[in-house]
Structure 1
Amino acid sequence: MFIEKIKSEGLSQLSYLIGGGGKAVVIDPRRDCEIYVEKAAQLGCRITHIFETHRNEDLVSGAPILAELTGATVYHGPNAAGDVKYAKTAAEGESFKAGEVRIEVLETPGHTDDSVSYVLYDQSFGDDAVAVCTGDALFVGDVGRTDFYPDRAKEVAGLLFDSLQKLLTLGDHVYVLPAHGAGSVCGDNMANRDFSSIGYERAHNKMLQITDRDEFIAAKLDEHHYQPPYFRLMERLNLEGGTPASRVLVPAPLDLKELRELAKHSVLVDVRDVTAYLGSHVAGSLALPVGMLASFAGWLIEPDKQITLIAESDAQAETAARHLARIGFDNIAGYFALPIPGWAANALSFDAVSVVGVDEVARRVEERPSGWQLLDVRSQSEVESGVIEGSRHIYVGHVPVELESLSRDTHYTVMCASGARATVAASVLVSQGFNNVDVFMGSMGAWQSEGHAVADKPA
């Protein structure tokens, strides 16, 4: 029996190819799914089953596409929000075999109503469970969010508690194979590793330390999560079935003339590192580094908008296009990668964003100059752990819809935990005509490292 993990960077999504004895199954495949076929062939296996742990909100499922490629049957849990047109239902107690592997279904609702876990048995070696694919019910260091049903908040939190108790009965030796890892929007406190066991989570996962059902429900109700607008698109596509991602995901290179024309109606997205954007960027472009695309493109770009990438290389443009395709953003006109000296030589309009450090921000906080505002774009949970006195809080994903509440006459210094999200937010402001914007590089991390005071809540 083998278990191959496939990680989708940016989304921190985890899928699995599992098999032995010439057959294999795939758990939660992503949209660009040729990788599963290729790996199965390398391992001498044919994919016979595809299992989904739940309807994903943060990416397009590759299950219907992989089914067409392989002829495998797709299975999805019961109680979905609609008819999952490409899948059969897998219910509690059902069992499936694929070569050496037996897969048993456990219904584990709470994160979503249709959440299921798949318990894996190695038929060639003992009767005990080897591992469990927990979807978004149980993570490494955390448990699933339960905010997708606000009118049933207490009920679904209680359902998740019950589901976790069911998983804990599998035995401490059982490996935990979650659907997401650290950095995913699906949890706040995941450990920075993708492997664990039931026993380790029982001992160290803070949410599993809560043994009282009512106390667990209260803890879940006290959480704060964000739902990007593109989640609604994912919900629809993951019921109807998304279209295949292009096999060739390298966008066409653009020349300067083409870029200038596209800039009139296309969203310019700079996928370079934040420091590159701050130093020099094409006027009007948004800063969305490759590693942050999956997390924030869905907040800042409407799904039907055409995108033009500003990249450093073919490889970077290809990676960016792949990350965008996984969340359903396919309308990419091309990419521009002329080295910066060439921008000026060709009279391309470009801008820069100033950076300030701890000492300057401390001076401004103390002196409170007229017309200056510190803008904190961290998440609500981060803000609740402490803020810089006098700062205003707007979550980075909410900046586009809060523009009317901001004054173009104000000098904004944008901060987050390190400066990366602050750069993304600053790019939104600058692209919308805010001319007096700088970024607090180091942000809260640097502020606290220097021993400066932290207040309880923003202004």
Structure 2
Amino acid sequence: MIIETIKTEGLSQLSYLVGSNGAAVVIDPQRDCDTYIQRARARGMQITHIFETHRNEDFISGAPVLAELTGAKVWHGPNPAAPVRYAETTREGDSFDIGAARICVLETPGHTDDHLAFALFDSEFDQGAVGVFTGDALFVGDVGRTDFYPDRAREVSGLLFDSLRKLEKLGDQTIIYPAHGAGSVCGAGMADREFSTIGHERTNNPSMKITDRDEFIATKVAENHYLPPYFSTMERLNVEGGSAMPHIAMPVPLDLAGLKKAGADYVIDTRSVAAFAGAHWPGALCIPAGMITAFAGWFLQETDRIALVSESMDEACVAATHLRRTGFDHIVGAFTNMVGSVANGQDFASMSLVDVACVKARMTEQSGDWTLLDVRAADEVDAYPIEAARHIYVGHLNKHWRDLDPTRAYTVMCASGARASVAAGWLKTQGFDRVDVFLGSVGAWKADAD
């Protein structure tokens, strides 16, 4: 029996290839799904089943494409918000024999109504469950969010509590295989490792340690999570069935004239924050390649035409892949010579950076024309507030920029300066001319206080 973990970088999504005696299954495949076929064939295996733990919100499922490529059936849980057109329904009590592996279905609602877990047994050894694919119910160090049904907040939190107890009954020896790792938008407290057991989580996972149902419900209801607008696109595509990823991942290279003529709705600068601050294409958004999956979906629409400004075509390829996995397919090309074009006289914009001393001086001046704008998440602000700052989460600026006066001056801050640069870049595209970034932000503030 083999288990391979396939990690989708950027999304921190984890999918799995499980095989035995020439047959294999895939659990929660990513959109660019050729990798599963290649891995299975390299082991002399044929993919016969595809399982989804739930309808994912943060990426496009590759299940319908993989089914078309392999002839395998897709299996999904009962009670979806809408019928999943490309899948058949499997329920608790169903089991599937894959060579010596037996996969038993468990209904584990809470994160979503259709959520399943898949317990893995080795039919050649009567030693209980070997592992369990927990989807978004149980992570390493955290449990799933329960905010997708705001009108049923207490009910679904209670359902997740019951589902976790069901998983516990598989035994402490059971290895857990979650659908996400640290860095995912699906949980804030995940450990930076991708291996654990039911026993370890029962003893060490803060949420699993809550054994009183009412206390668990109260804790989950009090959590703060954010819902990027693109989640609704993912939900729709993961009911209808998304299309395949382009087989050529590399965007079309653009020269300066090509960038000007590309007709892009947005230019996304995928370079570092420092590079963006020094010189960037006028009107570009600052979203470094590693931040695209977290923030592009707040500001882009599914139909937007996107041009990239990157350090290299390799970086542009990474950025384009992240965008396509989250439903942004209309990438017109990539420009990789920003520095050279500036040296040859191309007009450019820049982003001013300020330090602690400058921010404190502005606070002391108490100018009625200046605002310190804190774009951290609510939990971060609660843990370490900056009293003089106005708080709007970076993603919420997609709409709440309208609540700000574009004639005022703004210094944008976050924990380090990265999200502040994303926010400041967005504000500048909306006509805010007097914007700079507090470099270091809370980290620098704390260091100065010490």
Which consecutive residues of structure 2, in runs of 5 or more, have no partner in the other structure?
none
> Contact 1:270 / 1:285 at 8 angstroms: preserved in 2?
yes
Q: Which residue is equivalent to 1:271?
A: 270
Q: 2:398 and 2:213 mapped to 1: Cα distance?
A: 39
- Which of 399, 402, 427 does residue 397 from structure 2 map onto? 399
Q: 1:449 and 1:176 mapped to 2: Cα distance?
A: 39
The correspondence of residues 156-171 of structure 1 with structure 2, limited to 5 A, is 156-171=156-171
Q: Which residue is equivalent to 2:244?
A: 244
> Contact 2:33 / 2:62 at 8 angstroms: preserved in 1?
yes
Q: C-alpha deviations, 1:60-110, integer Å up to 9, x for none?
A: 000000011111111001111111111111100110011221100010000
Matched, 1:283 2:282: yes
Q: C-alpha deviations, 1:215-262, integer Å up to 9, x for none?
A: 111111101111111111111110110011111111101121121123
Q: 2:125 and 2:290 mapped to 1: Cα distance?
A: 40
When the two structures are superposed, what TM-score results if normalisation uses the length of structure 1? 0.96
Q: CA deviation at 1:399?
A: 0.9
Q: 1:424 and 1:368 mapped to 2: Cα distance?
A: 26
Q: Which residue is equivalent to 2:77?
A: 77
Q: Which residue is equivalent to 1:213?
A: 213
Partner SS for 2:261:
helix
Q: CA deviation at 1:158?
A: 0.5
Q: Which residue is equivalent to 1:455?
A: none
Q: 1:362 and 1:195 mapped to 2: Cα distance?
A: 44
Q: 2:100 and 2:444 mapped to 1: Cα distance?
A: 53
Matched, 1:307 2:328: no
Q: CA deviation at 1:408?
A: 2.0
Q: Which residue is equivalent to 2:109?
A: 109
Q: CA deviation at 1:339?
A: 4.4
Which consecutive residues of structure 1, in runs of 5 or more, have no partner in the other structure?
453-459
Q: 1:369 and 1:21 mapped to 2: Cα distance?
A: 73
Q: Which residue is equivalent to 1:370?
A: 368
Partner SS for 1:7:
strand
Q: 2:16 and 2:364 mapped to 1: Cα distance?
A: 53
Q: C-alpha deviations, 1:360-415, integer Å up to 9, x for none?
A: 22332333333111101011111111211210001111112112211222211111
Partner SS for 1:74:
strand
Q: 1:75 and 1:294 mapped to 2: Cα distance?
A: 27
Q: Which residue is equivalent to 2:191?
A: 191
The correspondence of residues 48-447 of structure 1 with structure 2, limited to 5 A, is 48-262=48-262, 265-345=264-344, 347-447=345-445
Q: 1:365 and 1:190 mapped to 2: Cα distance?
A: 36
> Contact 2:264 / 2:307 at 8 angstroms: preserved in 1?
no
> Contact 1:282 / 1:348 at 8 angstroms: preserved in 2?
no
> Contact 1:365 / 1:389 at 8 angstroms: preserved in 2?
no
What is the number of equivalent residue pairs in this alignment?
450
Partner SS for 1:439:
strand
When the two structures are superposed, what TM-score results if normalisation uses the length of structure 2? 0.98
Partner SS for 1:281:
coil
Partner SS for 2:367:
coil
For 1:378, the aligned partner's letter is R
Q: 1:100 and 1:290 mapped to 2: Cα distance?
A: 42
Q: Which moved more, 1:253-262 or 1:215-224?
A: 253-262
Q: CA deviation at 1:265?
A: 4.5
Q: 1:273 and 1:172 mapped to 2: Cα distance?
A: 44
Partner SS for 1:147:
coil
For 1:306, the aligned partner's letter is R
Q: CA deviation at 1:344?
A: 3.7
Q: CA deviation at 1:56?
A: 0.2
Q: 1:208 and 1:27 mapped to 2: Cα distance?
A: 24
Q: 1:334 and 1:451 mapped to 2: Cα distance?
A: 45
Q: CA deviation at 1:335?
A: 0.7
Partner SS for 1:185:
coil
Partner SS for 2:443:
helix
Q: 2:285 and 2:268 mapped to 1: Cα distance?
A: 5
Q: CA deviation at 1:342?
A: 2.5
> Contact 2:309 / 2:338 at 8 angstroms: preserved in 1?
no
Q: 2:59 and 2:94 mapped to 1: Cα distance?
A: 27
Q: 1:169 and 1:450 mapped to 2: Cα distance?
A: 50
> Contact 1:304 / 1:331 at 8 angstroms: preserved in 2?
yes
Partner SS for 1:68:
helix
Q: 1:367 and 1:184 mapped to 2: Cα distance?
A: 40
Q: CA deviation at 1:449?
A: 2.8
For 1:88, the aligned partner's letter is E
Q: 1:125 and 1:368 mapped to 2: Cα distance?
A: 72
Q: Which residue is equivalent to 1:456?
A: none
> Contact 1:250 / 1:318 at 8 angstroms: preserved in 2?
yes
Two-structure CA RMSD over aligned residues (Å): 1.3
> Contact 2:120 / 2:130 at 8 angstroms: preserved in 1?
yes
